[in-house]
Structure 1
Amino acid sequence: NKITFLKPGVFEDLHKLEWLYVLFLVLDRFSQEIQYCFSFSRVLMNNSLARLPDKPLCQHMPRLHWLVMRRNKISSLNENSFSSLQKLDELDLASNKIESLPPYLFKDLKELSQLNLSYNPIQKIQANQFDYLLKLKSLSLEGIEITNIQRRMFKPLRNLSHIYFKKFQYCGYAPHVRSCKPNTDGISSFENLLASTVQRVFVWVVSAVTCFGNIFVICMRPYIRSENKLHAMSIMSLCCADCLMGIYLFVIGAFDVKYRGEYNKHAQLWMDSIHCQLVGSLAILSTEVSVLLLTYLTLEKYICIVYPFRCLKPGKCRTISILILIWVIGFVVAFIPLSHKEFFRNYYGTNGVCFPLHSEQAESTGGQIYSVVIFLGVNLAAFIIIVFSYGSMFYSVHQTAITATEIRNHIKKEMTLAKRFFFIVFTDALCWIPIFILKLLSLLQVEIPGTITSWVVIFILPINSALNPLLYTLTTRPFKEMIHQVWYNYKQGRSIGSKSSQKTYGPSFIWVEMWPMQEITPELTKPAIYTDSSETSETTHSTRLNSYR
């Protein structure tokens, strides 16, 4: 209705009235007529109330124990607003425009058991704000960004059993409370660091695959006969970087086991700990070094294939210098956020997995800018370079093939190259495009469910780290040749049975990984069956390309 005021004496004879609903009116102040109803025990107001009286509220209502003033326009309170409501059991001030709470606002509410302050633009809460609410059982702070939140605020509330926050991370500041909502951010839950059983299982699977694959390549790489040791050095460096991602996932899985069933008691300490900071730095180090090394290897291939006759072969000193520079850049990018706490705040501790994938509102401006520069600047530029380079390489091979006079097996070879290039670019895209999209959405302040973040960190981000050994070593022709050689020697040893009669099986080729070598003998480079020189050029070009990855 359109009631704007209540006439004197309107409730004068309602001596046994207990419930009063004042809903959807346009009252602009708390009416004196309401205050003088001695029998009221419950008052609910939902209208346009803009201010409260300067005197204590409901001072003549000793029986009042339920006061709801939600969805009004109250913007300020004074310390004496509720001083006369000593029997009040529930107070609801949700969805108003309250910006601050006086320090001793609740000092007289000794019997209060439920307090709702949700969805008010409150910026800060005094550390001792709730000290007098010793019987409080339920506290609702939903929709409030508490920038100065600390354990001290809730420690005196020993009877508090239910608390409601805007963010799951805040639950760590009230570890003694039995029920805290929200009970998960999609990554962690009230009980476990990793909320989902699937996540808890696969963090170990992905960690094991990543670590084993890269360590296996590091150990086996020296046994692959290669004329280009510098390229092998780059591959081993890449495996070391990718192995760090597996170690990161292993540590997350280990702490998940450590805090199993009682994560909320340790959540905030974990996210603020040096362990979380170092683990997050390790993940960023792995990510950035891997991205830069993939870009470097791609540019090497691009120069070799698109400009094969320009003598751009890197020397040992230059290759080592580039690799050292990449690792230095990776360390700088990963550990800068730990060097300036005031600027970056808790950069790695915004979630349980310690990975700063998307910007949180509580994150500092410096941290947001830094995160955007890394993910949408450096990594996006590297991804574009990789896609462009492989596209140019395939086009170069295609052009070489169509200029040959004899093109036997041309379609088959070109399709093989196309599939290999597609798989390389596809795995990079599968890993990075979701991350670019998430970062862009967070920059546009789109709320991103934590479940998506956890899937990205555990399943999508390690894709390259797990597949790089497969792409760069295990599926390459030299590795297959080495395995074939070992198997051949094993069979020879068993069939001959005599040590003196065993013969060593020599490699049938020498692997030229990046640049054709001047020292290679004609016998090693001469094709078995060719009809003319143009086809020889095509095949050599394709063979060199096939051995790169």
Structure 2
Amino acid sequence: MKARFMVEVPLVVINGGSFQGLKSLVTLVIVRGSSIIKELEVKTNAFDGMPSLQTMYNDDHRLCCFFSNLETCRTIETYSPLFNCGSMMQNQVLRVFMWVLGISAVVGNIFVIVLRMKEKTASETQSKQRLFIFHLALSDSLMGVYMIILACADIYYGDEYFKFSDAWRNGIVCRITGFLGLLSSEASVFFISLITIDRFICVAFPFGRARMTLTSSKTAVGFLWCVALVLSAVPVLLAGPDSDFYDLSDVCIGLPLITRPSSFNFESEGLGGTLNFNLPVSTESKPAWYFSIILFLVVNLACFVIIFICYVIMFVRVKTSAQQVGRKESFNDEIKMAIKMAAIVGTDFICWFPIILMGLLSQLGAVVIPLDAYVWSVVFILPINSSLNPYLYTITTLISDNKKK
């Protein structure tokens, strides 16, 4: 006679041979429920001895990877979007992009940093531009380091990554990696905003007295680094095993593109009748996850709204001024520099806007973001501007120098 067996306990470890003798078992439910214990260790041969098993339900998606012949293996729907029963990055295209974007960001931005350190400037405006681009390149280079660490972790764990996914997400290396990635992304957004505000003041109020001096620019840069450092450290301090900040992301940055349901239900037919099971998912306050939503969907959105408004006003001002006679040469230089920086700001805006839009739609419940969209967002869209920026600096500088000649 076939049997069904259900276990609902806060498991920490499943030892080898734990289910020996259950030859007639056809349905297995393993649920740790609202336990704060997240990491589950599964020993070798833990699930041996269940030849009749057909269906399994659990709240740890990794458990499905230990079975290859099950008819059904269901888990809570909102597991890590990058998760699979193999390597961290099973998609070869994504794996290649991780290395290309990571190396490109590090090499390109280091080149810009060295170039700007050696560059001699004749005016305060040029000195400010060098200062801003230097620190923007520095922040972008950290994104390259972030991508390379992830690429190395993908190689290190290989096809058995699923066994160590919990340990990776809750480990110190992932926390440091996430810190670097978040520091890079937020510092870049802040410096892009600072560059925009500086250009806005110079172009919109060409004859005004209000100007950012080199000294005030250095102060602003230092302040923004401090803010970015604090914001990047907050998730490390707040994120616990049940925070959802790292728990939903194998890439160590919890973008708010997915939501967790309030419950998980399943129904199974068997010899004993219908088995109904409802697993409530914890809805308690999770500060780190709320912090992620506020940071990416409020702070970054506000920054890019300011950037958009400033550039609209600037280009309206440029169009109006082009019809006037006797413009000062210095004003012409300010306009040229604003247009030059617009190319750099534009690429950052294009990269961040899809993430912000998808996050807003997801958290409002308007759409369900496909897993593929999440994967491409965190591996391709998020870091691509850090790889493109240094080449934009180089191209615009070369074009400017050639025109001067």
| TM-score, reference length from structure 1 | 0.57
Among candidates 197, 205, 213, match of residue 108 of structure 2: 213
| 1:437 alignment partner in structure 2 | 357
Shift in Å, 1:324? 1.3
CA 1:196–1:403 in 2, change beyond 3 Å: closer, same or farther? same
The C-alpha deviation readout for 1:212-259, integer Å capped at 9, x for no partner, is 111111111133332232331221111010011111110110010111
| 2:179 alignment partner in structure 1 | 281
| 1:151 alignment partner in structure 2 | 40
**Is contact 1:387–1:425 with CA below 8 Å preserved after alignment?**
no
Shift in Å, 1:319? 1.9
Shift in Å, 1:337? 1.8
Q: Does 1:396 align with 2:291?
A: no
One-letter amino acid of the structure 2 residue matched with residue 266 of structure 1: F
| 1:258 alignment partner in structure 2 | 156
The C-alpha deviation readout for 1:486-522, integer Å capped at 9, x for no partner, is xxxxxxxxxxxxxxxxxxxxx968xxxxxxxxxxxxx
Shift in Å, 1:442? 2.9
CA 1:204–1:132 in 2, change beyond 3 Å: closer, same or farther? closer
**Is contact 1:165–1:171 with CA below 8 Å preserved after alignment?**
no
Shift in Å, 1:325? 1.0
| TM-score, reference length from structure 2 | 0.76
Within 5 A, what are the aligned runs for 1:493-508?
Answer: none
Among candidates 22, 28, 53, match of residue 135 of structure 1: 22
The C-alpha deviation readout for 1:118-168, integer Å capped at 9, x for no partner, is xxxxxx6453999667426765559x894336536998544358775577x
SS at match of 1:475: helix
The C-alpha deviation readout for 1:422-461, integer Å capped at 9, x for no partner, is 7456423321221112211331345433221110011111
Contiguous gaps of at least 5 residues in structure 2: 261-281, 328-332
The C-alpha deviation readout for 1:404-427, integer Å capped at 9, x for no partner, is 389xxxxxx9x9999868745642
The C-alpha deviation readout for 1:277-323, integer Å capped at 9, x for no partner, is 11111111111110001000110000011111223333343222211
Contiguous gaps of at least 5 residues in structure 1: 1-64, 66-88, 92-105, 107-114, 118-123, 407-412, 485-506, 510-549
Q: Which has the higher contact order (CA 8 A, sep 6+)?
A: 2
Shift in Å, 1:177? 5.0
One-letter amino acid of the structure 1 residue matched with residue 232 of structure 2: A
CA RMSD of aligned residues (A): 3.8
| 1:242 alignment partner in structure 2 | 140
One-letter amino acid of the structure 1 residue matched with residue 100 of structure 2: V
Among candidates 283, 287, 304, match of residue 366 of structure 1: 287
Counting matched residue pairs gives 358
Displacement over 4 Å in runs of 4+: 128-134, 136-142, 152-156, 160-167, 173-186, 341-344, 415-426
Larger Rg: 1
Deviates more, 1:264-273 or 1:125-134: 125-134
Within 5 A, what are the aligned runs for 1:321-340?
Answer: 321-340=219-238
CA 1:312–1:405 in 2, change beyond 3 Å: closer, same or farther? closer
Shift in Å, 1:190? 1.0
One-letter amino acid of the structure 2 residue matched with residue 243 of structure 1: S
CA distance in 2: counterparts of 1:419 and 1:164, whole angstroms:
59
CA 1:422–1:223 in 2, change beyond 3 Å: closer, same or farther? closer
| 1:201 alignment partner in structure 2 | 96
Within 5 A, what are the aligned runs for 1:532-543?
Answer: none
CA 1:215–1:165 in 2, change beyond 3 Å: closer, same or farther? farther
CA 1:342–1:197 in 2, change beyond 3 Å: closer, same or farther? closer
More helix by share: 2
**Is contact 1:343–1:366 with CA below 8 Å preserved after alignment?**
no
**Is contact 2:121–2:127 with CA below 8 Å preserved after alignment?**
yes
Shift in Å, 1:176? 5.3
Shift in Å, 1:273? 0.8
CA 1:246–1:138 in 2, change beyond 3 Å: closer, same or farther? farther
CA 1:231–1:424 in 2, change beyond 3 Å: closer, same or farther? closer
| 1:306 alignment partner in structure 2 | 204
Q: Does 1:222 align with 2:142?
A: no
CA distance in 2: counterparts of 1:354 and 1:266, whole angstroms:
14
CA 1:426–1:139 in 2, change beyond 3 Å: closer, same or farther? farther
